[in-house]
Structure 1
Amino acid sequence: MFASQSPLKSRLLAAGVHFGISVTIAALAAALVFVVWYPYPYREISGGRELFMIVVAVDVVMGPLLTLAVFNVKKAAKLLRLDLTVIGLLQLVALAYGLWTVFVVRPVHLVFEIDRFRVVHAIEVPKEELGLASAGLATLPLTGPTLLSVREFKDDKERSEMTFEALAGKPLGTRPGFWQRYDQGKSQVLARAKPLDDLKKRFPAQVGEIDAALKSASGGSDKAKPVGYIPMVGRKTFWTVLLDTNTAEVIAFVPIDSF
């Protein structure tokens, strides 16, 4: 296939084939990242999309360009195979490093924390404190964030200590010793939820977006649920959680800073 082409055409053809293979591998990696590790809305909230796209763009472009530079049908077959193998290995190493980077900063929990939801990322959790977590909560999930809440403080001393640690950059929601099942904090969640109408009055320009999020979450059903909202803290941005004010069930997310 390559031998019958001119040198330039053979290079372009080889680079094109390499590009197609690279895009296919990148698509599989994207499915892992955006379906398993960063399901919506965390790809937006946790910055996974931007980080992954930078890594993949460099990887997908680098390989084919290197192939374009080194491919030559006049080279000895053994040497050409060696060149392409090295390029392929470089790509795989770069992709593996990129995926590892995305993995270690993945979101692992959505935690209700006193008066807000916090997206907790693997890198934020003190690994030495995982042993303090309640039974069943001492692991960091691999398939997207789980819903948790934080327990109440034992006494004023603990409240004071945790307040100072939070100010020092260790939010309560990232501390395994305070994690509990989401349903155990249901009463606190409902007590903090504010009426949806208040959110719409505060952000009239986003009413359409709020209604669209609720409609999408309900699958177009006309059965209305009583809805409230609570602010949410992400890695670099603030969103809002919409929830059922009867059950505390999380219904939808909207990109609104409602603090």
Structure 2
Amino acid sequence: MQESSVTIDHHTVRFDWRSRLKAASIHLGLSALVAALAGLLVFAVWYPFPYREISGGRELFLLVVTVDVIMGPLITFAVFNRAKPRKELRRDLAVVALLQLSALAYGLWTVHLARPVHMVFEYDRFRVVHQVEIPEELLARAPAGIPISPVLGPTLLTLRPFKDNNENAEYTMAALQGLPLSARPDLWQSYEAGAPQVLQAAKPVSQLKSRFPERAAEIDGALQRAGRSAAQASYLPLVARKSEGWTVLLDAGTAEVIGYLALDSF
């Protein structure tokens, strides 16, 4: 009789482990589906190429999602037990799901606040401006028609000329203290308005190839994908959130952005 009891307990424990694994696997599959939908939002809207690389969107998202996707199923594995009353089991699983969704929502909100909102021509370079870099006291000073945070991802802007020497000195000093000129909405203007200045500051791609002969094939590949020859293209450096610099390829006649290179061209 004692041996039979041990056998029954052994099978009961084994069955419970199988149930826990099944519940955790289902939870993992659902978590992966939610993560995929969140990834579509992040990488198609908030951090489209090249911003997922320039602004660190990939790392931010992976950090948030990896922790969330792993922890939820692990907690389900720990709390799932068919021996519990059904009402209690449903309550436990509902609490796990609520905690996981709350953590994901908070993580996505953090990614949203750190997202790039504009790529701005800053007189002799491009700089990516992120939501968190714009001072709250300057938000109301954005020109009409230029949103602080575009719904459909980052847009191209340029900076207007300084009104006078006093403004030049004041804003340049603020930039030296950590507030980039491109993060000031009161300096923004449309990309079309500043296109002549972009073309004036841009340099021929032939110079880029001369500076980086070992990257010539990569540069030619980017031009080929854009349908331009080296004579039809120019470039400007791009300030990235990461330490590595990037390069923006432009149409030499229209200032249209035609490509990006992970190449520090300063």
Q: Give the TM-score range, shorter chain.
A: over 0.9
Residue 134 (str. 1) matches residue 143 (str. 2): yes
- Cα-to-partner distance string for 1:66-103 (whole Å, 9 max, x where unaligned): 11111111111111111111110111011000000000
| Residue 6 (structure 1) shift | 1.3
Q: Which amino acid aligns with 1:175?
A: R
Paired residues in the alignment total 253
Q: Which residue of 2 aligns with 1:146?
A: 155
Please give the secondary structure, in 1, of the residue aligned with 2:119.
strand
Residue 106 (str. 1) matches residue 112 (str. 2): no
- After superposition, the Cα gap between the structure-2 partners of 1:9 and 1:190, relative to the gap in structure 1 and judged at 3 Å, is same
| Residue 143 (structure 1) shift | 1.6
* Stretch moving more, 48-57 or 131-140: 131-140
- d(CA) in 2 for partners of 1:215 and 1:14? 51
Please give the secondary structure, in 1, of the residue aligned with 2:195.
helix
- d(CA) in 2 for partners of 1:68 and 1:253? 45
Q: Contact conserved, 2:223 with 2:229, CA < 8 A, in 1?
A: no
* Stretch moving more, 198-207 or 100-109: 198-207
Residue 247 (str. 1) matches residue 247 (str. 2): no
- After superposition, the Cα gap between the structure-2 partners of 1:91 and 1:217, relative to the gap in structure 1 and judged at 3 Å, is farther
- d(CA) in 2 for partners of 1:224 and 1:192? 17
Please give the secondary structure, in 1, of the residue aligned with 2:167.
helix
- Cα-to-partner distance string for 1:163-218 (whole Å, 9 max, x where unaligned): 11110001110100000011111111011111101111111222222222233334
Percent pairwise identity = 58
Please give the secondary structure, in 2, of the residue aligned with 1:6.
helix
Residue 167 (str. 1) matches residue 176 (str. 2): yes
TM-score by length of 2: 0.91
Q: Which amino acid aligns with 1:239?
A: W
Give 1 or 2 for the bigger CA radius of gyration. Answer: 2
Q: Contact conserved, 2:223 with 2:230, CA < 8 A, in 1?
A: no
In structure 2, list runs of 5 or more residues that go unmatched. Answer: 1-11
- After superposition, the Cα gap between the structure-2 partners of 1:146 and 1:18, relative to the gap in structure 1 and judged at 3 Å, is same
Query: Of the candidates 43, 56, 59, which is equivalent to residue 50 of structure 1?
Result: 59
Please give the secondary structure, in 2, of the residue aligned with 1:21.
helix
Q: Contact conserved, 2:206 with 2:231, CA < 8 A, in 1?
A: no
Please give the secondary structure, in 1, of the residue aligned with 2:250.
strand
Instruction: Compute the RMSD of aligned alpha carbons.
Output: 1.6
Q: Which residue of 2 aligns with 1:191?
A: 200
TM-score by length of 1: 0.93
| Residue 223 (structure 1) shift | 7.4
Query: Of the candidates 230, 250, 264, which is equivalent to residue 257 of structure 1?
Result: 264
Q: Which residue of 1 aligns with 2:37?
A: 28
Query: Of the candidates 226, 229, 233, which is equivalent to residue 227 of structure 1?
Result: 233
- d(CA) in 2 for partners of 1:65 and 1:90? 13
Q: Which residue of 2 aligns with 1:19?
A: 28
* Stretch moving more, 180-189 or 125-134: 125-134
Please give the secondary structure, in 2, of the residue aligned with 1:199.
helix
Q: Which amino acid aligns with 1:235?
A: R
Q: Contact conserved, 2:46 with 2:153, CA < 8 A, in 1?
A: yes
Please give the secondary structure, in 2, of the residue aligned with 1:144.
coil
